[in-house]
Structure 1
Amino acid sequence: MWIDTHCHLDASEFDADRDAVVARARAAGVTQIVIPAVAVANLDTVRLLAIEHGFAYALGIHPLCVMRAAEGDLDKLAEALETHHIDPRLVAVGEIGLDFFVPGIDPDTQQHFYVEQLKLAKRFGLPVLLHVRRSADKLLAGLRRVGFTHGGIAHAFNGSEQQALAFIDLGFKLGFGGTLTFERSLQIRRIATIVPETALVMETDAPDIPPHWLYKTAAEREADAGQGRNEPAELPRIAESLGELRGWSAKKTAAITSANALAALPRLASSWSP
C-alpha cells in the first residue's frame, strides 16, 4: 500500500470529479494522502477534505502565495494550528519554503514567511513540508538558524547531492514524484539511487508535476487543450521508476517509502492502515 506525501486534492482541477479521483487512488493502492494548504484561504478546505476522505493534512502558506498574504495571515495560521494541533490528521506545517525560480516574488518577504512558519512548527512540535526550488541552501540556513529539529520532507527535491545529504542530516526525507520518471532527469535520478533508502518518500504533487506519460509540450497543449492531469492514482506507476533505479520490487518500494513517510510524519500512523 502507498502513501502520497504531497497532493493538492483541493485544487480546482479536481472539482468536477474529486470523489472519483479518490476512488481511483484507493483502487490503485494509495491508501493515505497528505493534503497541504497553500494559503490562509484554504486552511479549512484541506482539513475538511482530509476528514471527509480519511486522509491527512498540513497547514501553511506557500512561498508563491506570500505576495498576496498579509502579515495578519501568520496570526491566522497560528490560530488554526492552536485550534487543531491535537488533531491527529494534522501531520505537518506546510507547504512552506522558498522559490527563487518564479520571478516577481520578493525574496525578503519569502524569507520572512518561511522563518516565521518554521517558528510556528517548532512551537507546535510539528514537522514541515518544504517547497524547494533553487533555494536549498537558503532553506537549510533557515532551519539551522531557527534550530529546527522536527524534520519533515523536502518536497519535490531537486538540489545537489551535497544539499540532499544536508537535509537528511537535519532529519528530513526527500520527496520524489513525476520528475523521476523522465530519463533526462539525470541529477534527480542519480540522487534517488545513491541516498540512503531511509531518506526516500513518494509523492505526486497532483495535479502538478505530471510523469512522462502525462507530460505534453507547449505545442501539444495548445493543440489539444491542456496537460494530462496528474492524480494520486499515478503514484504506484511513478514509484516503478524508483524501484527500477534501486533494484526493488513494487512491494519493497511501497514498504520502504511508506515506512519513511511514517518516520517523517509520525502522526500519519494514527490515520493510516496498510
Structure 2
Amino acid sequence: MLIDSHCHLDFEQLAADLPGVLARAEAAGVTGMVTIGTRVERFATIRAIAEANEQVWCTVGTHPHNAHEELHVLTKDLIGLSEHPRCVGIGEAGLDYFYDNAPREAQATGLRRHIAAARSTGLPLVIHSRSADEDMANILKDEAEKGVFPFVLHCFTAGRELARTGLELGGYLSFSGIITFRNAEEIRAVAREVPADRYLVETDAPYLAPIPHRGADNEPAFVRHTAEKLADVRGLSLEALAAETTANFGRLFSKTGVGA
C-alpha cells in the first residue's frame, strides 16, 4: 500500500480526467493521496474533490508563489477552514527564492501564519522550500521556540543542513520523482540517511514525473516509481518501504485515520 502525500488534483492536467487518474492510482497500489492547497480562495474546489472520493484528503493553504495575493488570509481563517473532516493539513506554504514570484516578506509572513495554524490545530504543515535554506531554517527554529508544530518539508531538494534542522525539530522529509533523476545524487544521499520513521513519498503531480515518465504529466500512480527507487536507495524491498512510508504518513497526517 502506497500513499501519495502530495499532489494537485485540482490542476487542469489531472482534473480533466480525474476518474482515470484515480483508477490508475488504484491499479498501481496507491490507496490514498492528499490534494494540496495552493490558494485559500480555491479551497472549496479541492475540498469537493476530497468529499467526493474516499481515497483523497486535502489541505488548506497559500503557496509562496501566491503569498502576496492572500495576505488577507489570517491564521484564524486557516484554522476555521481546517476543521472540515476531509482537511488533514495546513499548507502548502513556505519560501521560494528560485522564482521569487512573491515578495520575500510576504512569503515569510504567510509561512509564519501557517505555522501558527499548524501549532494551534496540531495538523501538519506542508512546507515548500526552494533556494531558501538559510531563511527557512531560521524561521523554523524561531517558530519552534514559540511551541512545537508538526511539519513536512515536501519535495525535498535542499541541502543536508536544512534536512538536519528539520529532523531535529521533529519534522519529516518527503521525496518526489526527482529522486529518480540522474543528477539527483545529493538528494539520494539525504534520503539514504533519513531515519526510518521520518520520511514520505509523493508525486507533486502534475509536475516532476519520475523516470520512466519524465517529461510527461505526473499523476499519483507514478509514486510507485519513486517508491521503487527510494527502496533501492535505502536497501529495502518495495513492500518494506511502502509499510514504512504508510506508517509515517498515518502518524504525521493522523486525522486521516491511516494505521489507526
Q: Which runs of 5+ in 1 are unaligned?
A: 217-227
Do the aligned residues in 1 keep the contact of 2:4 with 2:223 (CA within 8 Å)? yes
Structure label with greater radius of gyration: 1
Greater RCO (CA < 8 Å, at least 6 residues apart): 1
| Aligned twin of 1:58 | 59
TM-score by length of 1: 0.88
Which secondary structure does the structure 1 equivalent of 2:109 belong to? helix
Deviation, 1:6, is 0.2
Aligned to 1:168: 167
Q: Secondary structure at the match of 1:132?
A: strand
Q: Is the 8 A contact 1:2 1:29 kept in 2?
A: yes
Aligned-partner residue type, residue 235 of structure 2: G
Q: 2:5: which partner in 1?
A: 5
Task: Tell me the SS of whatever aligns to 1:5.
Answer: strand
Partner of 1:152: 151
Separation of aligned partners in 2, 1:148 and 1:44? 30
Residues of 1 paired with 2:70 and 2:237: CA distance?
A: 47
- The size of the alignment, in residue pairs, is 257
Where does the alignment leave 5 or more consecutive residues of structure 2 unmatched?
none
Q: Where in structure 2 are the equivalents of 1:62-77 lying within 5 Å? A: 62-67=63-68, 69-72=69-72, 74-75=73-74
Moved more, 165-174 or 118-127: 118-127
Contact 1:152 1:173 in 2 (8 A): yes
The alpha carbon displacement at 1:230 in A equals 0.5
Q: Which residue of structure 2 lines up, in the alignment, with residue 113 of structure 1?
A: 110
Cα 1:169–1:40 shift into 2, 3 Å: same
Rounded Cα–Cα distance in structure 1 between residues aligned with 2:114 and 2:78 = 12
- The letter for the 1-side match of 2:98 is F
**Cα distance in 2 for residues equivalent to 1:231 and 1:196:** 27
Q: 1:116 to 1:184 in 2, by over 3 A?
A: same
Q: Which amino acid aligns with 2:28?
A: A
**Structure 2 length as normaliser, TM-score?**
0.93
CA displacement at 1:136 relative to structure 2: 2.8
RMSD (Å) for aligned C-alpha atoms: 1.8
Is 1:121–1:127's contact at 8 Å kept on the other side of the alignment?
yes
Alpha-carbon shift at residue 89 of structure 1 (Å): 2.4
Q: Distance in 2 between matches of 1:83 and 1:215?
A: 35
The structure that is helix-richer by fraction is: 1
Q: Is structure 2 residue 25 aligned with structure 1 residue 28?
A: no
